[in-house]
């Protein structure tokens, strides 16, 4: 049933509602538009900010995970994200080697300050910072501290990618070096330097009554690649080993050799007395031994104000007078990436003045004493830190650095330089400062030219 009156009233009511609601609706629309515009502006600013952050990071970061203590930094490389603890910048130049967890073996221990291709193999975040610093700055060096128990043996082995220089810190050892030409055996004792060419088989046997300690420098900033002789033997098929070595009993005898469950890097069997019946620590001819042994403790002393150096060696073969030094240098010159070793003494409370090296990185181990070290990086940033016994210090090539003894005990370091076949080239601060014209210095430092007469000039 149609009711036009009802329809007319309903239409009039609807029209009345629209007319009365129009002003309020316009206000709501304006408010909505303002909010929408603000939202769009906020989103645009956010996107712009993130774009700037991503651009600086070198790529898009898909996920950032920072722990609750805010001690992790986000590292972006090739679009991938990883994180590691934030570490003080000084640990790029300082390694607390004596505090790192040693790798333990039946015959002794090894502690490393080196680059690791697997970050999980670093002992701690500080060790990782140091190792990656050696690698990024292409130091051509790494270092290890080897301890051998009495009777213990650093088993015959060779390194694929590095020459090795060792300094005997303590004890007496019997050393063998096997090359394609010959075998050389000799004793080494405290204060002497030994050299093992890359890929030469070599061993170190503790033949003294106390612990032997050696500081080992390797001429590579890559992870040192090593193969032990037992691994090479046991990795060779039995029939091949039998045909190569031709033992009595043939393959049956070869099969009596067993594969060890533990690493034999530093070996000391519990039944050594039953295994070894006769020991003869022979020595090869001096002319052969000096290819691999240098008596650093007996070498000439080179003094400077506040301390002294002894070198193994740093001069070219043409300027050498000692037969031992001449043969040793010739041996080093046959190899690439060989190192120059030295002992550095800074007297109590004296200064090894600021200097830098043109052609070598420097890696030093603190044997005794304590010091304050400082260096100025290429950015102009100054880094200073305290060092003590068992610490390793890294000074990159061209970086001005100094060492100041800060205790009443003499500071003694064993130092390695990545010189290769070149003589070490060094420039000290007093040399380059005093050799710069005083009017140049006056302009540089905004000081009266006459004031520079306060500095003594040689």
Write out pLDDT tens, residues 160-171. Answer: 999 999 999 999
- 102-115 pLDDT, tens digit each: 999 999 999 999 99
Domain spans in the chain, listed from the N-terminal domain onward: 27-86, 94-288, 298-440
Phi/psi of residue 432, nearest 5 degrees: -75, -30
Predicted pLDDT of residue 359: 95
- 318-373 pLDDT, tens digit each: 666 788 999 999 999 999 899 999 999 999 999 999 999 999 999 999 999 999 99
pLDDT > 50? residue 7 = no
Predicted pLDDT of residue 65: 30
As a whole number of angstroms, the distance between CA 306 and CA 353 comes to 9
Residue 59's pLDDT band, with cuts at 50, 70 and 90, is very low
pLDDT greater at residue 301 or residue 63? 301
As a whole number of angstroms, the distance between CA 234 and CA 259 comes to 7
Alpha-carbon distances, residue 406 vs 368, 373, 428 (angstroms): 12, 10, 21
CB 55: neighbour CB atoms within 10 A?
10
Matching CATH topology for 94-288 and 298-440?
A: yes
Sheet of 340-346, strand order: 94-95, 392-395, 362-368, 411-417, 340-346, 307-312, 302-304
444, 356 in Cβ contact below 8 A? no
Phi/psi of residue 254, nearest 5 degrees: -60, -35
Residue 45's pLDDT band, with cuts at 50, 70 and 90, is low
Q: Out of 3-12, 200-209, 296-305, 400-409, which region has the weakest mean confidence (pLDDT)?
A: 3-12
Which fold, 298-440? Jelly Rolls (2.60.120)
Considering all CA atoms of the chain, what is the largest pairwise distance in Å, rounded to the nearest integer? 132
Per cent of the chain over pLDDT 70 is 80
Angle at 39 between CA 36 and CA 42, to 5 degrees: 155
Q: Is 110 left (phi over 0), alpha (psi -120 to 50) or beta?
A: beta
Alpha-carbon distances, residue 255 vs 152, 260, 266 (angstroms): 26, 14, 24
pLDDT > 60? residue 56 = no
- 268-309 pLDDT, tens digit each: 999 999 999 999 999 999 999 999 999 999 999 999 999 999
Give the gyration radius of the chain's Cα atoms.
34
Catalogue the E-assigned strands of 347-418. Answer: 351-357, 362-368, 371-376, 382-387, 392-395, 400-405, 411-417
Which fold, 94-288? Jelly Rolls (2.60.120)
pLDDT > 80? residue 317 = no
Per cent of the chain over pLDDT 90 is 75
Question: pTM value?
Answer: 0.81
372-400 mean pLDDT: 96
411, 403 in Cβ contact below 8 A? yes
Identify which of 10-24, 74-88, 264-278 has the greatest average pLDDT: 264-278
Token digits of residue 270: 């519990």
As a whole number of angstroms, the distance between CA 170 and CA 8 comes to 114
Predicted pLDDT of residue 95: 98
Residue matched to tokens 């009443």:
408
pLDDT > 60? residue 74 = no
- 201-259 pLDDT, tens digit each: 999 999 999 999 999 999 999 999 999 999 999 999 999 999 999 999 999 999 999 99
Q: Out of 29-33, 210-214, 251-255, 421-425, which region has the weakest mean confidence (pLDDT)?
A: 29-33
Residue 316's pLDDT band, with cuts at 50, 70 and 90, is low
224, 337 in Cβ contact below 8 A? no
The mean pLDDT of the chain is: 86
Give, as one character, the DSSP assignment of residue 225. Answer: P
């Amino acid at each position: 049933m149609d009711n036009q009156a009802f329809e007319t009233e309903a239409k009039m009511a609807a029209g009345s509602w629209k007319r009365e609601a129009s002003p309020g609706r316009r206000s709501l629309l304006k408010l909505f538009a303002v909010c929408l515009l603000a939202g769009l502006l906020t989103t645009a600013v956010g996107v712009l900010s993130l774009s700037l952050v991503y651009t600086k990071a070198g790529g898009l970061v898909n996920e950032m995970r920072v722990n609750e203590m805010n001690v992790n930094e986000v590292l972006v490389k090739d679009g991938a994200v990883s994180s590691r603890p934030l570490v003080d910048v000084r640990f790029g130049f300082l390694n607390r080697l004596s505090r790192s967890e040693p790798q333990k073996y039946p015959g002794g221990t090894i502690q490393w300050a080196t680059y690791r291709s697997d970050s999980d193999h670093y002992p701690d975040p500080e060790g990782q910072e140091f190792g990656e610093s050696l690698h990024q700055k292409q130091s051509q060096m790494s270092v290890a501290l080897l301890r051998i128990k009495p009777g213990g043996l650093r088993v015959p082995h060779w390194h694929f990618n590095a020459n090795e220089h060792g300094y005997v810190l303590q004890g007496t050892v019997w050393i063998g070096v096997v090359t394609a030409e010959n075998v050389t055996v000799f004793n080494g004792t405290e204060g002497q330097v030994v050299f093992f060419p890359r890929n030469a088989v070599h061993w170190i046997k503790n033949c003294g009554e106390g612990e032997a300690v050696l500081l080992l420098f390797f001429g590579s900033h890559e992870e040192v690649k090593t193969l032990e002789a037992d691994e090479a033997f046991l990795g060779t098929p039995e029939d091949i080993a039998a045909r190569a070595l031709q033992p009595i009993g043939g393959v049956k005898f070869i099969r009596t050799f067993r594969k060890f469950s533990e690493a034999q890097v530093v070996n000391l069997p519990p039944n050594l007395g039953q295994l070894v019946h006769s020991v003869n620590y022979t020595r090869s001819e001096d002319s052969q031994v000096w290819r691999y042994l240098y008596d650093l403790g007996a070498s000439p002393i080179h003094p400077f104000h506040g301390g002294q150096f002894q070198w193994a060696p740093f001069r070219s073969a043409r300027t050498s007078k000692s037969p031992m030094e001449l043969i040793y240098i010739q041996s080093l010159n046959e190899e690439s990436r060989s190192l120059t070793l030295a002992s550095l003494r800074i007297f109590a409370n004296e200064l090894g003045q600021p200097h830098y090296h043109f052609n070598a990185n420097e890696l030093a181990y603190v044997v005794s004493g304590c010091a304050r070290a400082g260096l100025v990086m290429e950015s102009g940033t100054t880094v200073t830190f305290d060092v003590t016994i068992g610490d390793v210090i890294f000074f990159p090539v061209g970086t001005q650095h100094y060492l100041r003894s800060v205790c009443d005990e003499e500071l003694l370091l064993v130092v390695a330089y990545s010189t290769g076949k070149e003589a070490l080239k060094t420039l000290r601060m007093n040399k380059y400062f005093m050799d710069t014209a005083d009017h140049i210095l006056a302009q540089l430092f905004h000081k009266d030219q006459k004031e520079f007469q306060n500095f003594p000039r040689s």
